[in-house]
Amino acid sequence: MYSLDLATPTSSSRLLLGEGLLANGKLLERECAKLGAHRTVVVSNPTVMRHLKDRVALPPHQLVLIKDGEQHKNWRTLNHIYDQLLTKACGRDTLMLALGGGVVGDVAGFAAATYQRGITLAQLPTTLLAQVDSSIGGKTAINHPLGKNMIGVFYQPALVVIDPLALSSLPERELTAGLAEVVKYALIRDASFAGWLKEHAPSLLARDASLLLEAIHTSCRHKLEVVERDEREQGERALLNLGHTFGHAIEKHLGYTGWLHGEAVGLGMRLAADVSKAISWLKESERQQAHRLCDAFGFHTKLPPGLDAGKMVRIMLLDKKNRTARIHLVLLKAIGQAEVCAELDTAELTRLLNETLKPYRANH
C-alpha cells in the first residue's frame, strides 16, 4: 500500500493507494473513524452500486443515489443531495463518502463543501480517470448549460482511497478514457513516463494489475506535487489542463452526451500538440511522438460532426483559465514540458484551427 500526503496552506489530505483497500472493512472503518464523524453518508450511482456493492466494505452509512452521466452534473442533482441530507437531518458532524467516478466525486464534493458551510469529505474513486485526477486536489463543480465546471469551489477531501481492483468491472471505453489523464501527466512534466507508457500501452489496456498500479501511483504523485505548489490554480496547476480546453469545447458542443470526458481530452491533446507545432513551440518530431503516444491507447482521431473552428473558439472563450478576454491554452514546448500560451487572439486562433482541424473532420 502507498500512503501519500497533501499539505497546502489551508488544508491537508491523505491518499491511500493499494489493491483490495475498498474490500478491507477494518481499514475503511479505522480511517473513517479518524475523521471524527458521527454519521456517514455515501453518495454514489446505481451503476457503481450494481457492480461494486458486494466488493466494497463500507462502514455503516446512509445511501444517496444520483443519476449516472456527465449530463446530470447539474443543479438538479446537487439539490437532490441537499434534499437527502436535510431529510436525514445530517449535521456538520457528517462524513460524506463519494463512491464513484468523476461526476459523483465532483457533485458530492461540491455538496460537502457547501452543505452547512462544509462537512468532511472522503473520495473513493472507482474509475481510472477519477483515481488519477478528479478525486485529488479538491476541485468540485457542476456544469452550466453555457460551460463545463463553471460553478464550484476548491474543497480538499480529508481522505482519498484508491483501489485499482475497482477497475476490474470498468468498461474498456472508460478505462481508455482514464488513460488520457495518465498520458497528460507524461506530456506536461515527465518525458521518461511518456516512454514508459508507450512501451507498456498494450499491457495497460489489458489491465495488467502491477503496471496499472505503477501508472496510477506515478500520476497521483505528479498531481499532488503540482497541487501542493498551486492549490487554487493561479499558475502551475493550470498546466494540468493540457487538452482540456479543446476537450471541454467538444463536450459542450455535444451537450455533455455521447463522448466521455477522457475521450474528449484525448483528442484535445492531439490538437494541443498540433497547435504547439503551428506556433513553432514544438518540433515536428515531438508532435509526431505525442500523436504516437495517443495512438498507442486508441484515443479519438475525429471530431464530432458540426464542430468547426469558429464554434470551438466561441466555446473556448468561456474557459476558466482565460484572463483579459484572451484564450489561455496549455501547449507543449517539448515532451514533458508545457506552458500556458496567451499569445493568440481569437482571429489568429480561429485561423490556426481552420487548418489544424481539417484532418479531424468526420467526413475527411
Determine which one of 181, 231, 263, 286 is catalytic.
181
Strand partners, 121: 96
Q: Is position 181 annotated as part of the catalytic site? A: yes
Q: What is the reported pLDDT for 28? A: 95
Contact 301, 360 (CB under 8 A): yes
Q: What is the reported pLDDT for 171? A: 94
Determine which one of 174, 233, 263, 286 is catalytic.
233
Determine which one of 241, 252, 253, 286 is catalytic.
241
Determine which one of 72, 73, 139, 328 is catalytic.
139
Q: Is position 117 annotated as part of the catalytic site? A: yes
Phi, psi (deg, nearest 5) at residue 361: -70, 140
Q: Is position 244 annotated as part of the catalytic site? A: yes
Phi-psi region of 37 (alpha: psi -120 to 50; beta: other; left: phi over 0): beta
191-205 helix and 209-229 helix, angle to the nearest 10 degrees: 140
Q: Is position 223 annotated as part of the catalytic site? A: yes
- Going from the C-alpha of 101 to that of each of 133, 178, 207, 334, 352, the distances in angstroms are 10, 10, 18, 31, 35
Determine which one of 148, 184, 217, 261 is catalytic.
261
Candidates 109, 92, 191; CA nearest to 156 is 109
Candidates 72, 144, 64; CA nearest to 99 is 64
Q: Who's near 205: CB < 8 A, 6+ residues apart?
A: 172, 175, 176, 179, 297, 298
Q: Is position 323 annotated as part of the catalytic site? A: no
Determine which one of 148, 244, 277, 300 is catalytic.
244
Q: What is the reported pLDDT for 319? A: 79
Under DSSP, the state recorded for 166 is G
Cα–Cα distance for residue pair 260/177, rounded to 1 Å: 7
- Residue identified by cell 495488467 is 208
Cα–Cα distance for residue pair 44/101, rounded to 1 Å: 9
Q: What is the reported pLDDT for 177? A: 97
Q: Please list the pLDDT of the chain residue by residue as tens digits (364 residues).
A: 899 999 988 888 999 999 999 999 999 999 999 999 899 999 999 999 999 988 999 999 999 999 999 999 999 999 999 999 999 999 999 999 999 999 999 999 999 999 999 999 999 999 999 999 999 999 999 999 888 899 999 999 999 999 999 999 899 999 999 999 999 999 999 999 999 999 999 999 999 999 999 999 999 999 999 999 999 998 999 999 999 999 999 999 999 999 999 999 999 999 999 999 999 999 999 999 999 999 999 999 999 999 999 999 999 988 777 766 678 999 999 999 999 998 888 999 999 999 999 999 866 4
Determine which one of 73, 189, 222, 237 is catalytic.
237
- Going from the C-alpha of 297 to that of each of 61, 247, 290, 294, 348, the distances in angstroms are 38, 17, 11, 6, 31
C-alpha cell recorded at residue 133: 485526477
Q: What is the reported pLDDT for 356? A: 95
Provide the 10 A C-beta neighbour count for residue 332: 25
Instruction: Give the chain's domains with CATH numbers.
Output: 2-169 (3.40.50.1970), 172-360 (1.20.1090.10)
* End-to-end C-alpha distance for the chain, whole angstroms: 48
Determine which one of 248, 252, 270, 287 is catalytic.
248
Q: Is position 237 annotated as part of the catalytic site? A: yes
Let me know the angle formed at the C-alpha of 103 by 102 and 108, rounded to the nearest 5 degrees.
100
Q: Is position 248 annotated as part of the catalytic site? A: yes
Strand 39-44 relative to strand 12-17, pairing: unpaired
Determine which one of 117, 284, 323, 363 is catalytic.
117
